[in-house]
Structure 1
């Protein structure tokens, strides 16, 4: 690295690589999980109807783990390991262990428990990586830092997704006896565990975190600074807590009254749980308990900075579109481009393979766009407007599903979606890192994940009911919903005036 004009040193491209390389391994783990867990569950005897209940572990685990890890990583200083790297390492060890054990599972319950452990471990490693970029970089390098991180996410997703296909191509058996996980999946998880651990270990060894004294010298206060949060929380009444509880109860009653999907019960339960947690947090803050985690997390969530609240709305609608895509692309492509809605047909299976190609394309485009297009636009028009452009590219990609008739042309749609994916993974975090207090970067990044998880829960619970009511045989209209939510997200970015001026030179020295 070389010294900049003031403050933190400017990182070279090698430094940017080292800071985020661990994310490459983490994303391999997520890709293996996302691509293969339904296959593993069904191999071990799960019915199709039970899959949503088993899969709900992933978003729920992230919802719980990320704020806690963010809170703790802000306060952890373990000598030479620093405050973020201990979590990288611990999460990587647990995730690698889970990946090694998963394909050896012989009963469904064991696999479900391992999914919880795997997702929790990946979140333990992933959340501090978001804050780590902000810790290590000057503000004028935040776009470049999160762009490099996004490139590794795209590359890791491609590698993790293609692992089983490559092994099958190389002659490894893709078939197995009933109740036995195929060798392609088994070896992919084992290789993925090794890759994950080594990638994270590279970042742990190749980077040196700044100490608290160094951060103070750079004009950033790394101390906890939680007393003002607790005082503000103690001054609050219990009305909002009661409102959350009532809202949750109404959701549960709606499920009973209108026969909504049973997964909607979880949404109601979460609202009630947050209401109870906030009431308890207020009580503890009023009691003078200044060292409790619950009050700090609830206080920081209810007292988020204005720019974070604005970006939360953008994030909510952005991730709603993404989850609609992940759930519905296969049935849409099968029915409208391969002529079959029958999951048992060869045409449907062919469509599924093509969707794998489409997803690899958008991840590959994201990796390229993150290193080329996004930094260029950020320098010219600023981070906020760059994100608007990215979101509108994604909306155009989803809308083009209605224009094309040949499945090959969907590759064009994936270019727009890939640009949006790159922007969603990079720009909001670059904006936050440049505007949040250093002392709370970890907890705020963890809380920001709530607006990734809640859309997933809503799409998984409410979208099914909407489609059954209005478009029971036309899944392609989910692409219209996705395009519309990205347009709303782009319009919401107009309220984020964080960087009305273009960003300065983000290139590494």
Structure 2
């Protein structure tokens, strides 16, 4: 029997199976990222308020991921293992929420369902990061995270294109009727919910987990760690126990995710304004612009899927820090360049650069971090690391709306430029990170 201290080298198809669930998870995130601003605007939200309504994803991540990481570290079942129970439960809840989201008839309903949907996606997603640390030797961990990135890219491409596919090839109406969400968006969420559940179940039932090295000791420690008070103490106390590498990566993550949040929230109002020349969310032109944003996001997802296999090779020849720095700078310059583009076809070009950055964001920080974490606390620290993904989004959600109104004269594209500058800064800060595994 293999134990956590004796990890076998996994084959390509074993890596495939254990990562395939991310294909479904990204259906949820891509549909959310591409269509949420569009849904909110269609239901009557003001552009200045979009960032506040978008606070649901980072806040649920802040609350859910550390708790799920802690719980999964302290879970073991002979059949279900450690992480897979959470994959399973999160997938079921997320699929239900994805069926509810496009049927929201009022703005407050859409915001409430977004909270539910993002909580469920986080339950399913968080243990996937720890899954790599659990099952793979350090020599395979970068490849494991790259495989996840590949499926994230593939899922993102298809999910982002779904409204356009339904419009152009299946003849589904893309026009809101009586203020309701267009049928193209509704059917996209229905299809995505089904794919989410099926993909995650594939990983649940085709992958096995390695039992703790000392099962009796694990059970005793789990018994000692029971209780909400103990869990909260452990979770909050982890900030004082973070490895130095994790602290350094936190600063990189802060500016990276401010940039990504700005992109997800403001690309739709930016493009509909500057290229499709409308701010009326009930108009056919606005909904056409929403579909085009889906195509743009599909491009960056597709590029990230391809880059996922190239980045580990480049990292082996240079360093993971250098590759991450370079990718973030490319992504930042690409976001800034959107300001100067007025042709919808040319908007696809900066998405290539964003896709390169996205591939690295999903791979390199986690690969660097995994080499600095204790094996028995992998899920907990990966969950804690998510604080540095969601806190910058919360900050951005609170301040970007006011900046848009008072600093940028309601020109959403300038928020994208600010995001690009933040991503460039994150790239430069990467060179201050110590990569323990690379040093060893």
TM-score, normalised with respect to structure 2 = 0.88
* Cα offset, 1:472, TM superposition: 1.7
Q: 1:260-289 CA distances to partner (integer Å, 9 max, x unpaired)?
A: xxxxxxxxxxxxxxxxxxxxxxxxxxxxx9
Which one of 368, 378, 382 corresponds to residue 441 of structure 1? Answer: 378
3-state secondary structure, aligned to 1:80? coil
Q: 1:110-509 alignment to 2 at 5 Å?
A: 110-169=109-168, 170-175=170-175, 177-178=177-178, 180-213=180-213, 292-336=230-274, 338=275, 340=277, 342-343=279-280, 351-371=289-309, 373-401=310-338, 406-472=343-409, 474-498=411-435, 501=438
* Cα offset, 1:326, TM superposition: 2.1
Closer, same or farther in 2 for the Cα pair 1:409/1:45, shift >3 Å? Answer: closer
- Name stretches of at least 5 consecutive residues in structure 1 with no aligned partner: 231-288, 504-509
Native 8 Å contact 1:378 1:502 kept in 2: no
* Cα offset, 1:112, TM superposition: 3.8
Q: 1:105-154 CA distances to partner (integer Å, 9 max, x unpaired)?
A: 55555544332221111110000011001111110111111111011111
Closer, same or farther in 2 for the Cα pair 1:193/1:464, shift >3 Å? Answer: closer
* Cα offset, 1:214, TM superposition: 7.8
Q: 1:276-328 CA distances to partner (integer Å, 9 max, x unpaired)?
A: xxxxxxxxxxxxx9961111001012321111000011111111111222233
Native 8 Å contact 1:225 1:439 kept in 2: no
Q: Distance in 2 between matches of 1:480 and 1:50?
A: 19
Native 8 Å contact 2:142 2:363 kept in 1: yes
Of 315-324 and 160-169, more deviation after overlay is shown by 160-169
Corresponding residue of 1:252: none
Q: Distance in 2 between matches of 1:65 and 1:489?
A: 25
Native 8 Å contact 1:379 1:502 kept in 2: no
* Cα offset, 1:158, TM superposition: 1.7
Aligned pair count reads 433
Q: Distance in 1 between matches of 2:338 and 2:240?
A: 39
Of 82-91 and 348-357, more deviation after overlay is shown by 348-357
* Cα offset, 1:203, TM superposition: 0.2
Q: Distance in 1 between matches of 2:357 and 2:438?
A: 22
* Cα offset, 1:395, TM superposition: 2.2
Native 8 Å contact 2:54 2:265 kept in 1: no
Q: 1:150-175 CA distances to partner (integer Å, 9 max, x unpaired)?
A: 11111112222222221222123334
Native 8 Å contact 2:22 2:200 kept in 1: yes
Q: 1:172-201 CA distances to partner (integer Å, 9 max, x unpaired)?
A: 333464254443333322222211111011
Q: 1:354-376 CA distances to partner (integer Å, 9 max, x unpaired)?
A: 333222111110111012x2111
Q: Distance in 2 between matches of 1:191 and 1:411?
A: 25
Closer, same or farther in 2 for the Cα pair 1:136/1:106, shift >3 Å? Answer: same
Q: Distance in 1 between matches of 2:436 and 2:149?
A: 21
Q: Distance in 1 between matches of 2:322 and 2:103?
A: 48
Closer, same or farther in 2 for the Cα pair 1:420/1:214, shift >3 Å? Answer: farther
Larger RCO, structures 1/2 (Cα 8 Å, 6+ apart): 2
Of 130-139 and 163-172, more deviation after overlay is shown by 163-172
3-state secondary structure, aligned to 1:78? coil
Q: Distance in 1 between matches of 2:195 and 2:251?
A: 35
Native 8 Å contact 1:384 1:496 kept in 2: yes
Native 8 Å contact 2:37 2:268 kept in 1: no
Closer, same or farther in 2 for the Cα pair 1:402/1:60, shift >3 Å? Answer: closer
Q: 1:215-242 CA distances to partner (integer Å, 9 max, x unpaired)?
A: 99xxxx978979xxx9xxxxxxxxxxxx
RMSD, aligned CA: 3.2
Q: Distance in 1 between matches of 2:182 and 2:411?
A: 34
3-state secondary structure, aligned to 2:396? helix
Corresponding residue of 2:31: 32
Q: Distance in 2 between matches of 1:461 and 1:356?
A: 25
Larger radius of gyration: 1
* Cα offset, 1:498, TM superposition: 0.8
Native 8 Å contact 1:131 1:442 kept in 2: yes
Native 8 Å contact 1:154 1:363 kept in 2: yes
Native 8 Å contact 2:65 2:122 kept in 1: yes
Native 8 Å contact 1:44 1:106 kept in 2: yes
Native 8 Å contact 1:92 1:196 kept in 2: yes
Closer, same or farther in 2 for the Cα pair 1:114/1:401, shift >3 Å? Answer: closer
Q: Distance in 1 between matches of 2:220 and 2:53?
A: 37
TM-score, normalised with respect to structure 1 = 0.77
